[in-house]
């Protein structure tokens, strides 16, 4: 192989692999797992993209909205629905599992949506009123990201014993990953099916809301030209609040799906990396563009898996970052272009 | 809230009204007093749980970082969220060249460095390599819009840490590199390895204090360098770019070149601080270079006042000193030292709303002959810039 010749005698040999065989053998498996990851990235990316489209702001704290959603889902399962964390999966039958998961997802959506709207009202609205510089918004976003993370890290355990703190939550496993069917020699598990199907439905719904409803028209109008939109009777403030709400709701849904895939991932710092990747996905598809975010999410998920197969598991995160840098250098407007208003998406 | 955060203004005004000679006198007195602080620590300043000298050494390192980051963020207006990456490159350069755990160790007989001078010889190398890494990162990315730059630099900082973690054949991975070189000066019977070694751990003049003194000297040197740059054509170009990049471009400023300069100079200063860290702790491992530290450094700059190099040093002091002072103080069963990120996050949010220019806002050096102009205008400029 080409790659091995290159690295054979160098000190990198043990650290970076270049395993084409591995990628070729497991190609379809990597693709399908990548789709599940990508669906989660896509849902989170929509939050970045909508806010960027309307406000030209990178909502750095969006990853923390996602993190709060994970805790919301966990709280619902644990306290409201009464599942105790245990090493074994509950087997409740398909219908009941779907009902419980749906309830947890709704709760996570409520938590994330409410905190996104709250974040906007507390941190960003005062800045808009003062006509702050873009850099000021970004620094505020970083500050809020700190505040939310550290709140869950240190304050939450004092309010709700057993929640937050330095360690991840004990997983509550409702769905035991089980192979449903095979396609091209790759196995598709029930978890993958649930993730991809729910994400698809939510993405379609969001697309409908943005493109077909009066409210969506308002968002597109503000994204295209805030001043003219205001003159036409669109309340900019209300549109902004609702944009944050939609982003938050989708992040909440993504949070529940993520905990299905990674049950042990509910931790105060669990949003950061995923947030960066979702942002990369949004940029990849064209930030500010709804369909771009969905496409970018799926692509990023798949490519990350291919990268992992080629170079080794520990390089997974590097692949996403390198991809982000490359996209920004080669085509900063992303695959589908930037505008929320003009691209009709 | 606005008046509550305003005391910096009076001090700032007083300082800017001093003549250059007076500034020198007060500066020397101020730094002298600072240098004596670890020897004659007032009880209310002391840090009970941890060595005061060590705290001050940490302060000196973060102050160097803050001055360097201030060039990038405060002067040129480029939001760099991956600054910790340069800090890491500097620290790893020294560690890789001098640690026995590293395959590239160059200390010992027949190698590049003699043991006594290894650290000092590595400092310029570390600065050069970080400057080059700044050049490599900056050349493609500085053409991007400001907010994208923030994310790309964030990615860079994270990639550097992941590389340090994953390339275990070279960096020893998560186990880190031990026994990094440090200056061997002032050896005596009690201290066979000199005053800078971690063996010198008792009393007020412990190794932390010595590193603090070394740091102070470096800070003064950097302040002079950066101050001269600020007053030069380069500094005026930076301010022009920060205030309005398009206008600067139209006026004939080669914006890309000057942004790259800011980036490279900032990187080199970050590398210097990293080299100091590696020497002081004598151990370098990936978790130190977690991306959250980047945010902490940014907090020092924003808190002190973007663009004000003395202000950001104060910001660095707050960032380092407060968590160490509050270490072990408990409120409602929560250790206040743990809450540093929460407090600093809150501070960022509150400052951005009520006082985005920081505690000690920068004076706008828009005029080359600012002092003469001020004298001519009398009190007219006293209105606070919004």
Residue B258 has pLDDT above 60, yes or no: yes
pLDDT of residue A186: 79
Picking from B239, B370, B231, the residue whose alpha carbon sits closest to that of residue B381 is B370
Chain B residues whose beta carbon lies within 8 Å of the beta carbon of residue A12: 167, 169
Q: Is A328 on the interface with B (CB under 8 A)?
A: yes
Picking from A167, A190, A178, the residue whose alpha carbon sits closest to that of residue A264 is A167
Mean pLDDT for the stretch of residues B78-107: 87
Q: Which of residues 91-150 of A touch B (CB under 8 A)?
A: 122-123, 126-127, 130, 132-140, 142-147, 149-150
pTM equals 0.85
Cα distance from B270 to chain A (closest Cα, Å)? Answer: 20
Domain boundaries in chain A? 21-330
Do A39 and A200 touch, CB atoms closer than 8 A?
Answer: yes
pLDDT of residue B11: 80
Task: Choose between B208 and B59: higher pLDDT.
Answer: B59
Query: Which of A145, A161, A325 has the most B C-beta neighbours within 10 Å, making it the best mutation to test the interface with B?
Result: A325
Query: Which of A57, A165, A328, A329 has the most B C-beta neighbours within 10 Å, making it the best mutation to test the interface with B?
Result: A328
Q: pLDDT per residue over B282-317, tens digit each?
A: 888 888 888 888 888 988 898 888 888 888 999 999
Residue B16 has pLDDT above 80, yes or no: no
Q: Is B101 on the interface with A (CB under 8 A)?
A: no
Do A303 and A34 touch, CB atoms closer than 8 A?
Answer: yes
Note the ipTM here.
Answer: 0.82
Residue B126 has pLDDT above 70, yes or no: yes
Name the residue facing A135 among B79, B140, B148 (closest C-beta). B79
Task: Choose between B28 and A87: higher pLDDT.
Answer: B28
Give the whole-angstrom CA distance, residue B370 versus residue B17: 11
pLDDT of residue A2: 40
Structure tokens at B368: 């080359």
DSSP string, A62-74: HHHHHHHHHHHHH
Residue B25 forms beta bridges with which residues?
A: none
Residue A1 forms beta bridges with which residues?
A: none
Give the whole-angstrom CA distance, residue A236 versus residue B160: 41
pLDDT of residue B363: 67
Q: Minimum mean pLDDT among A185-189, A258-262, B207-211, B260-264: which range?
A: A185-189
Rg (CA), chain B: 21
CATH class of A21-330: mainly alpha
Q: Which of residues 142-171 of B touch A (CB under 8 A)?
A: 144-148, 150-152, 154-156, 158-159, 162-163, 165-170
Q: pLDDT per residue over B129-172, tens digit each?
A: 999 999 998 888 888 777 778 888 888 888 898 888 888 878 88
pLDDT of residue A111: 94
Q: pLDDT per residue over A157-187, tens digit each?
A: 888 888 888 888 888 887 777 777 777 777 8
Mean pLDDT for the stretch of residues B310-325: 87
Give CA B333 to chain center in angstroms. 33
Half-sphere exposure of B118 (CA within 13 A, CB side): 27
Give CA A283 to chain center in angstroms. 13
Mean pLDDT for the stretch of residues B66-86: 90
Give the whole-angstrom CA distance, residue A182 versus residue A191: 14
Structure tokens at A138: 């970004």
Chain A residues whose beta carbon lies within 8 Å of the beta carbon of residue B342: 146-147, 150-151, 153-155
Mean pLDDT for the stretch of residues B217-246: 89
Q: Which of residues 268-287 of A touch B (CB under 8 A)?
A: 272, 276, 279-280, 283
Chain A residues whose beta carbon lies within 8 Å of the beta carbon of residue B79: 135, 138-139
Residue B365 has pLDDT above 60, yes or no: no
Residue B43 has pLDDT above 80, yes or no: no
Buried-exposed string A23-61: b where 16+ CB fall within 10 A, e elsewhere: beebbebbbbbbbbbbbbbbbbbbbbbbbbbbbebbbbb
Mean pLDDT for the stretch of residues B83-111: 84
Do B384 and B9 touch, CB atoms closer than 8 A?
Answer: yes
CB contact under 8 Å between A136 and B352, yes or no, is yes
Q: Which of residues 238-297 of B touch A (CB under 8 A)?
A: 291-292, 295
* Residues in chain A, pLDDT under 70: 1-15, 87, 338-345
Structure tokens at B343: 């407090």
End-to-end CA separation in angstroms for chain A? 44
Half-sphere exposure of B224 (CA within 13 A, CB side): 8
pLDDT of residue A301: 93
Picking from B143, B377, B121, B136, the residue whose alpha carbon sits closest to that of residue B254 is B143
Domain boundaries in chain B? 7-382
pLDDT of residue A6: 41
Q: Minimum mean pLDDT among A7-21, B50-64, B188-202, B343-357: which range?
A: A7-21
Q: What is the mean pLDDT of chain A?
A: 84
Reduced to 3 states (helix: H, G, I; strand: E, B; else coil), residue B107 is strand
pLDDT of residue B370: 60
CATH architecture of structural domain B7-382: Orthogonal Bundle (1.10)
């Amino acid at each position: 192989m080409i790659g091995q010749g290159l690295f054979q005698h160098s000190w990198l040999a043990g650290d970076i692999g270049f395993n084409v065989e591995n990628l070729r053998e497991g190609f379809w498996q990597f693709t399908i797992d990548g789709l599940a990851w990508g669906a989660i990235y896509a849902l989170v990316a929509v939050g970045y993209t909508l806010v960027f489209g309307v406000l030209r702001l990178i909502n750095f704290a969006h990853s923390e909205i996602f993190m709060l959603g994970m805790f919301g889902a966990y709280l619902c399962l644990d306290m409201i629905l009464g599942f105790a964390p245990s090493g074994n999966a509950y087997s409740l039958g398909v219908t009941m599992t779907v009902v419980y998961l749906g309830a947890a997802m709704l709760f996570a959506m409520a938590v994330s949506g409410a905190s996104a709207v709250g974040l906007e009202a507390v941190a960003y609205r005062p800045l808009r009123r003062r006509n702050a510089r873009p850099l000021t918004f970004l620094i505020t976003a970083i500050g809020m990201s700190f505040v939310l993370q550290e709140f869950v890290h240190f304050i939450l355990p004092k309010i709700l014993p057993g929640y937050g703190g330095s360690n991840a939550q004990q997983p509550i496993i409702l769905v035991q990953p089980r192979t449903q069917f095979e396609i091209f020699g790759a196995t598709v598990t029930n978890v993958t099916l649930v993730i991809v199907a729910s994400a698809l439905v939510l993405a379609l719904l969001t697309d409908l809301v943005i493109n077909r409803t009066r409210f969506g028209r308002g968002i597109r109008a503000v994204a295209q030209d805030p001043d003219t939109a205001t003159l036409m009777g669109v309340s900019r403030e209300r549109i902004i609040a609702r944009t944050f709400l939609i982003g938050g709701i989708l992040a909440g849904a993504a949070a529940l799906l993520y905990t299905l895939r990674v049950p042990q991932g509910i931790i105060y710092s669990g949003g950061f990396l995923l947030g960066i990747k979702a942002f990369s996905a949004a940029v990849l598809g064209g930030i500010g563009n709804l369909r771009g975010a969905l496409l970018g999410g799926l692509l990023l998920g798949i490519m990350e898996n291919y990268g992992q197969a080629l170079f080794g598991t520990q390089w997974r995160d590097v692949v996403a970052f390198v991809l982000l840098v490359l996209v920004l250098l080669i085509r900063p407007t992303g695959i589908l272009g930037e505008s929320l208003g003009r691209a009709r998406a | 809230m606005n008046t509550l955060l305003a005391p910096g203004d009076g001090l700032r005004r007083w300082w800017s009204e001093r003549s250059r000679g007076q500034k020198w006198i007060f500066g020397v007195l101020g730094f002298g007093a600072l240098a004596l602080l670890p020897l004659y620590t007032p009880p209310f300043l002391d840090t009970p749980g941890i060595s005061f000298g060590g705290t001050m050494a940490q302060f000196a390192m973060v102050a160097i970082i803050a001055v360097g980051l201030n060039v990038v963020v405060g002067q040129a207006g480029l939001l760099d969220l991956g600054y910790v990456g340069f800090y890491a490159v500097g620290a790893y350069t020294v560690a890789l060249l001098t640690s026995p755990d590293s395959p590239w160790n160059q200390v010992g007989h027949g190698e590049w460095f003699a043991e006594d001078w290894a650290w000092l010889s590595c400092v310029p190398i570390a600065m050069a390599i970080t400057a080059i890494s700044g050049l490599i990162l900056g050349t493609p990315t500085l053409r991007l819009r400001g907010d994208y730059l923030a994310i790309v630099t964030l990615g860079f900082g994270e990639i550097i840490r992941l590389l340090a973690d994953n390339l275990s054949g070279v960096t020893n991975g998560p186990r880190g590199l031990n026994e990094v070189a440090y200056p061997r000066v002032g050896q005596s019977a009690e201290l066979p390895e000199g005053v800078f070694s971690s063996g010198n751990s008792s009393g007020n003049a412990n190794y932390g204090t010595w590193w603090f003194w070394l740091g102070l000297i470096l800070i003064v040197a950097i302040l002079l360098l950066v101050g001269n740059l600020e007053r030069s054509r380069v500094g005026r170009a930076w301010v022009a770019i920060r205030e309005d990049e398009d206008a600067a471009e139209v006026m004939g400023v080669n914006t890309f070149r000057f942004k790259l300069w800011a980036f490279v100079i900032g990187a080199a200063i970050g590398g210097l601080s990293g080299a100091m860290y590696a020497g002081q702790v004598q151990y370098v491992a990936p978790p130190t270079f977690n991306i959250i530290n980047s945010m902490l450094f940014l907090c020092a700059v924003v808190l002190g006042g973007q663009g004000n190099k003395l202000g950001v040093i104060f910001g660095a002091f707050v960032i380092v000193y407060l968590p160490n002072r509050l270490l072990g103080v408990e409120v409602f069963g929560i250790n206040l030292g743990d809450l540093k990120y929460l407090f600093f996050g809150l501070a960022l949010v509150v400052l951005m709303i009520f006082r985005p220019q920081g505690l000690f806002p920068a004076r706008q050096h828009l005029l080359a002959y600012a002092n003469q102009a001020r004298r001519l205008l009398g009190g007219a400029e006293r209105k606070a810039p919004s």
